[in-house]
Amino acid sequence: MTAPTIGDVRRARPDALGHLATRVGGHAARLRAAASARATSGPGDTWTGPASSAAGGRHTELMVTARTVADGLDRCAAAIRAAGEQVADAQRTLDQAERAARAGGTHLLDSGALASTGSVLPGSPDTAVVVARLAERARADYGAALFTLRARLTAASGRYAVSPPAQSMAPLSSSASWSPWWSQASPTSISPPPDSPIAASAWFAGLSDIERDEVIRSHPEWVGPRDGLPAWARDRANRLVLESVAQRLMAELAARRDEPTDADQPWRDVLRPQLRSRRVIELIAALDGLRAIKEVLATDDGRRRQLLSLDATGGTLTAAVTSGDLDGAGHVAVFVPGFQADVAGDLASYSRGVEAAADLADRLSRAHGDGRPVVGVTWLGYAAPTVLEVVVPGRSVAGWGPATAGSPALGSLLAGLDAAGRAAHPQEPPRLVLWGHSYGSLVTGLALRDATVPVAAAVVFGSPGMGVDTVAQLRLPPGQLYVEEALDDVVAATSRFAADPGLWREATQLSVAQQDLPDGSVGRVAHGHEEYLTAGSTSQWNLAAVAAGTTDLVRRRAPCPPWSPLSQQPPPSCERPMRLG
């Protein structure tokens, strides 16, 4: 398959797709009306015998076929109309890219490259980055339209014996050799979803409701871990996987019952871990984690939590749980924890903190923002470094290894949230925001550096560094990196991983001190490394305001005058985080 170009996006004709959808829908209506008119014109009561019975059966078969074909044409019309709307969205994004290019004195070519127009308009040095990001988003949206339309038309062709209109793809692409992955599959068989989040989203869109239920029930391992699918489907699949994995791990642990475990002396696991086999330790930790997931999901407080991901295939159990209905969200905040983050020990407490911050963000969105719901995701989706691995090469919290290994999973999650969000809300996909804490801010930075989808904003708190030297490397909109540092946070003071985000002028430095908040309350101060999500704190308020898109409500860190031995005591409102070295 040839990837679409910027020229393809420019030449697409969404209006033609709209007209075609109307025509196909008209054919369906006329066919359905004709079937209804002839429904009572069977052989009647005066004609009896074998020939009459055969004619009556044939008449009924024709009426059923006519209605089935009409249903298929309706689905084709809906798919074509939706594709037209997606293409129109892609062209609007491309218009933004072209306006940004012109403002910087350049022109966006069909290939996606920038060419100078010879003008001397003043432009930002980040113009090329902004244009490239918008152009790539336009291409991705356009490609998603192709994927989705072809999947739905192919599904309709197999399910309803309908031949999709030959001209249905003409307004989208002039390439006659385009051969999508699903064209090779039998209409009556269902193949596993592709790895690409966009392609996986299109694969799911091409299934009927019955087929979706069957896939989730028969192959939950296809659906649960697949980024790009709706959260409701992944949740159902992952809950099935949760039960089967628990049974499998308990059976394996029982089979290893003769191996030494020292279950009644947990302190010996730290002092002499060799007394347990590594696999037994992993099994016990995984079962504890599965138990923690069940308890979080079973919390009876009226909240609709979803198990977005679950992976017990490696040595470390990973999972992600939402604070609400992710498919209906207009803003999604993903929390990325750091050192020692563990499903068994931390999922419950982290989820409570994320839920409280997301609830506050939801209230801010409704009162001061666009009114769209805010949902948080507690993402323990990578093997965070642990205290027992401090001296282990490639796994130490002092090194890059765990973050380098974990950031692709976070990038895939973001791509999947974007694909699923655009499928559910093509007119206004959800904003994606990252909350990166401690070592998790390094994972966040590496994922943003390599991001393939737009992320609206990021907040890092207690960060030892994001793994990049400049804000521009993070591919965020200008001014949309926010930094929180408690005055006595030793971890944030280390600047271990590249530049210190707390010193970046291009980042918005946020307050964690006691502050009067816009809702009339007083935000409490956050101390140390672990209080950023504390309920009622200024830090929590700032996290919520960024997640809701109400960034005018954040409380910024008060600047301090330059320090010297002769300086007077800084004003009480001044916040000067500590620095080591």
| Pairwise CA distance, residues 306 & 329, whole Å | 13
Distance of CA 473 to the CA centre of its chain: 21
Q: 66 and 151 in one domain?
A: yes
Determine, yes or no, domain membership for 423: yes
> What pLDDT is stored for residue 163 in this prediction?
53
pLDDT, tens digit, 9 for 90 and up, residues 480-533: 999 999 999 999 999 899 999 999 999 999 999 999 999 999 999 999 999 999
Determine, yes or no, domain membership for 577: no
Residue of 308, 387, 383, 314 whose CA lies nearest to 351: 308
pTM: 0.69
| Pairwise CA distance, residues 125 & 450, whole Å | 20
Determine, yes or no, domain membership for 397: yes
Please, is 520 exposed, middle or buried when counting C-beta atoms within 10 Å of its C-beta (0-12, 13-18, 19+)?
exposed
Q: 253 and 178 in one domain?
A: no
pLDDT, tens digit, 9 for 90 and up, residues 280-339: 888 999 999 999 999 999 999 999 999 999 999 988 999 999 999 999 999 999 999 999
Give the chain's end-to-end CA distance (angstroms, integer): 53
Got the DSSP string for 114-131? EEE-S------TTHHHHH
Q: 346 and 409 in one domain?
A: yes
Containing domain of residue 28, as a range? 6-182
> What pLDDT is stored for residue 42 in this prediction?
53
436 Cβ contact partners less than 8 Å away, ≥ 6 residues apart:
336, 338, 442, 443, 444, 445, 458, 459, 460, 461, 463, 466
Please, is 341 exposed, middle or buried when counting C-beta atoms within 10 Å of its C-beta (0-12, 13-18, 19+)?
buried
Determine, yes or no, domain membership for 477: yes
| Strand residue runs (E) in 64-104 | none
Determine, yes or no, domain membership for 219: no
Determine, yes or no, domain membership for 218: no
pLDDT more than 70, % of the chain = 82
Determine, yes or no, domain membership for 200: no
Choose the final residue of a domain: 165, 182, 199: 182
Look at residue 182 and tell me whether its pLDDT is greater than 60: no
Q: 241 and 166 in one domain?
A: no
Q: Which of 14-28, 38-52, 109-123, 556-570 has the highest mean pLDDT?
A: 14-28
Please, is 252 exposed, middle or buried when counting C-beta atoms within 10 Å of its C-beta (0-12, 13-18, 19+)?
middle
Q: 391 and 304 in one domain?
A: yes
CATH of the domain at 315: 3.40.50.1820
> What pLDDT is stored for residue 183 in this prediction?
35
Segments in 369-463 forming alpha helices (H): 401-424, 439-449
Look at residue 462 and tell me whether its pLDDT is greater than 90: yes
pLDDT, tens digit, 9 for 90 and up, residues 236-285: 999 999 999 999 999 998 888 766 555 444 444 444 445 567 788 889 99
Q: 176 and 260 in one domain?
A: no
Q: 500 and 372 in one domain?
A: yes
Determine, yes or no, domain membership for 199: no
pLDDT, tens digit, 9 for 90 and up, residues 128-157: 777 787 788 888 888 888 878 887 777 766
pLDDT, tens digit, 9 for 90 and up, residues 203-247: 888 787 888 998 999 999 999 999 999 999 999 999 999 999 999
145 Cβ contact partners less than 8 Å away, ≥ 6 residues apart:
83, 86, 87, 90, 172
| Pairwise CA distance, residues 235 & 312, whole Å | 16
Instruction: Calculate Rg over the CA atoms of the chain.
Output: 28
| Residue at token pair 């291409």 | 139
Residue of 484, 403, 472, 475 whose CA lies nearest to 432: 475
- Domains contained in the chain, number: 2
Look at residue 380 and tell me whether its pLDDT is greater than 60: yes
